Amino acid sequence: MGRHQINALTTIINTKKDRGGAVRVGLKLGDVLGNHVQSKICKMESPHDQELFSELSLNSEVISLPQVTALKQTIDIALQKDLDLTNVLILTRVPSNIEVSEYDIVHLHNPIPLAAMIQMAIKCKRAGVPYCITTHGISKLPDTPDSEDLSRWQIPFFEYCFFKPYLSVLKNAAHLFALSEHDKQLLLEHFPEQSVSVTPNGVELNPPEGNDIERAKQEFQIPKDKPILLFVGKIHKGKGIDDLIAIHKEIQVDHRTIVAGQPEDQRYVNKIESTEDSLEYVGYTTKSQLKLLYRRADIFVFPTRTDVFPLVVLEAMAAGTPVVSTTVGGIPEQVTSEVGILTQPNDPEEMAERTTELLKNETRLQQLSQNAYERIKANYTWNTVARQVAEEYRTIIR
């Protein structure tokens, strides 16, 4: 089959608030796939869309899908609470200018709201069009009741209204794209006969620029004469924010820690902001600001407790920033001993000690930095990833 003969529809499932890694990856991948197949993108609407499309420098049009929230609102009113958990009940509508039967394959990203993903999967089945799914976050799901502090009644709701139905959607897919070998093995445990391949997230190279130190001082008041540690991610329990604060306090080198990301849990934002001035929360940043922070940082510190194949780790490496993180999910596939250091999760003392050692060894720090950049350049550019996905499409519809 020739290069541009496949007609693929990328579909991004998301809540109005969600602009995290899975959404960004789905949009960027769908855009770059246009270099290899005929590609169209649709996405559930969000007030952040235009800002997000601009940040990602998309060349493709993105068709907006509505958020149908009547069922969620009914449940929330009955419970007298606006719960994130009931986001699984949000539906959508496919506009008249998208006819699923006209496509060779539909690629689904992000399982929340699950009801909307189920809708799209059913439309594909009725139209006789195979659908595939990139399983963002699959290895984190069994830990959700603990990581999200679900109550006794919320746990069965999660189990029967999300987890089990999601597994059914995965089982009936024509193919699953796992982000890591770790996730592939997890999927095969659930679905031994399923077609699964490993296709990692992609990332843009972000080489250092000559004025980074001065710009960082102007935009974020980052001092020129101190080593900088950086954390990027949603601010909630699962990302190890408590451990990050402990690591910051225990490092035996004068430094500053910058925390950037979406404030998912205000309790943890408050904890960060109540700590000493050398630990600073800068909130959700623009793409340009984030790229600057990655380049300015000396070490990317990411004490996550539950993750899959975090895009932020690749983004840090794409800027030549060494990574100190944990052994959860697919992170060991991203971070080898040549580009960073891994410790067990929930061990801030060990991570602080290893980070301190690295800050005191300038030669090793520079070598890890160079290796990190070269690893991204060789394995994780968007065009490399999109080419792999396009080849898998050809196998699926052959």
Neighbours of 153 (CB within 10 A): 9
> How far is residue 203's CA from residue 149's CA, in Å, rounded to a whole number?
32
DSSP 281: E
Per DSSP, the three-state class of 42 is strand
Per DSSP, the three-state class of 392 is helix
* Residue ranges of domains in the chain: 7-202+382-397, 212-379
What is the reported pLDDT for 28?
A: 97
Per-residue pLDDT in tens (0 to 9) along the chain, 398 residues: 444 489 999 999 999 988 888 999 999 999 999 999 999 999 999 999 999 999 899 999 999 999 999 999 998 898 888 778 888 899 999 888 899 999 999 999 999 999 999 999 999 999 999 999 999 877 778 778 877 778 888 899 999 989 999 999 999 999 999 999 989 999 999 999 999 999 999 999 999 888 999 999 999 999 988 999 999 999 999 999 999 999 999 998 999 999 999 898 899 999 999 988 799 999 989 889 999 999 999 999 999 998 889 999 999 999 999 999 999 989 999 999 999 999 999 999 999 999 999 999 999 999 999 999 999 999 999 999 999 999 999 999 98
CATH 3.40.50.2000 matches 212-379 = yes
pLDDT digits over 206-248, tens only?
Answer: 998 889 999 999 999 999 889 999 999 999 999 999 999 999 9
Instruction: List the CATH code of the domain at 7-202+382-397.
Output: 3.40.50.2000
> How far is residue 79's CA from residue 56's CA, in Å, rounded to a whole number?
38
Neighbours of 160 (CB within 10 A): 10
324 within 8 A of 301, measured Cβ to Cβ: yes
What is the reported pLDDT for 41?
A: 98
205 within 8 A of 373, measured Cβ to Cβ: yes
What is the reported pLDDT for 144?
A: 81
250 within 8 A of 343, measured Cβ to Cβ: no
Per DSSP, the three-state class of 160 is helix
Q: In 3D, which of 16, 260, 307 has the Cα closest to residue 141?
A: 307
DSSP 203: B
Q: What are the φ and ψ backbone dihedral angles of 306, each rounded to 5 degrees?
A: -150, 120
What is the reported pLDDT for 253?
A: 93
What is the reported pLDDT for 2?
A: 44
Show the tokens assigned to 168: 């059914």
pLDDT digits over 311-338, tens only?
Answer: 999 999 999 999 999 999 899 999 999 9
Q: Cα angle vertex 133, ends 188, 174, to 5°?
A: 70
> How far is residue 291's CA from residue 321's CA, in Å, rounded to a whole number?
11
Per DSSP, the three-state class of 344 is coil
Helix (H) / strand (E) containing 110? none
Type of residue at 214: E
Q: In 3D, which of 164, 167, 161 has the Cα closest to residue 135?
A: 167
129 within 8 A of 106, measured Cβ to Cβ: yes
Examine domains 7-202+382-397 and 212-379 and report if their fold is the same. Answer: yes
- Give the strand order in the sheet containing 340-343: 279-283, 256-260, 228-232, 299-302, 323-326, 340-343
